[in-house]
Amino acid sequence: MDYEKVHVSLLISAMIGCLTLTCVSSEATHIVGDRVGWACPSYNGFYETWARNATFNVGDVLLFQYNPGLNTVVHVNKDDYDHCTTRNVMETYFRGNSSVTLNHPGDYFFFCSVGKHCEAGQKLQIAVSQGNPPSQTI
Ligand SMILES: *[C@@H]1O[C@H](CO)[C@@H](O)[C@H](O)[C@H]1NC(C)=O
Ligand SMILES: *[C@@H]1O[C@H](CO)[C@@H](O)[C@H](O)[C@H]1NC(C)=O
């Protein structure tokens, strides 16, 4: 009977998995839209609802899952976000499955610049918090 051995090796692989995944850092990866991914949603407030159900901290990563050519991600300011315009694009992602690291606190605005996707609700606004305060900065 090798129960003991099996048990130990399971324990070890659980520990390794833990080390390489969540236990070491508190940063989270958010898959935008969860199962829907980054696509024209079935109703206009979809990404608003999705965002309301999550908390975003500095250091977290947004993962936009989409196929290149069909969608893009543009990082814009509030004015562009509100009007679906691209006057002040800070960053454009178009290669598919884009990761965006949230490296400062504040509001972030994104939308898809393809066709009328933005007007159809493929847009995301989130508020990013500082998270754990940095150790003593006086
Ligand atoms: C909100 O998040 C929880 C936990 O991840 C999940 O179980 C729930 O289905 C989510 N609700 C909505 C409306 O997405
Ligand atoms: C994006 O990620 C999804 C889920 O992991 C995968 O099925 C898809 O092939 C990826 N697409 C690209 C363009 O990398």
Shortest-distance Cα residue to atom 7 of ligand 2: 65
Measured in angstroms, how far is the CA atom of residue 3 from the centroid of ligand 1?
38
| Per-residue pLDDT reduced to its tens digit, 50-104 | 999 999 999 999 999 999 999 999 999 999 999 999 999 999 999 999 999 999 9
For residue 53 and ligand 1, the question of a CB distance below 6 A is answered with yes
Q: Which long-range contacts (CB under 8 A, 24 or more apart) does 129-137 make?
A: 129/55, 129/56, 129/57, 129/58, 129/105, 130/57, 130/58, 130/105, 131/26, 131/57, 131/58, 131/59, 131/60, 132/26, 132/57
Contact 96 CB / ligand 2 (< 6 Å):
yes
Q: Ligand nearest 68 Cα, by number?
A: 2
Q: Which ligand is nearest to the CA of 54?
A: 1
Which bound ligand lies closest to the C-alpha atom of 53? 1
Tell me how far the alpha carbon of residue 61 lies from the centroid of ligand 1, in angstroms.
18
Residue nearest to atom 5 of ligand 2 (CA): 65
Q: Is 53 left (phi over 0), alpha (psi -120 to 50) or beta?
A: alpha
Q: Model's pTM, two decimal places?
A: 0.77
**Residue 18: pLDDT band by 50, 70, 90 thresholds?**
very low
Predicted pLDDT at 27: 85
- Domains contained in the chain, CATH given: 27-129 (2.60.40.420)
Rounded Cα distance, 116 and 122, in Å? 9
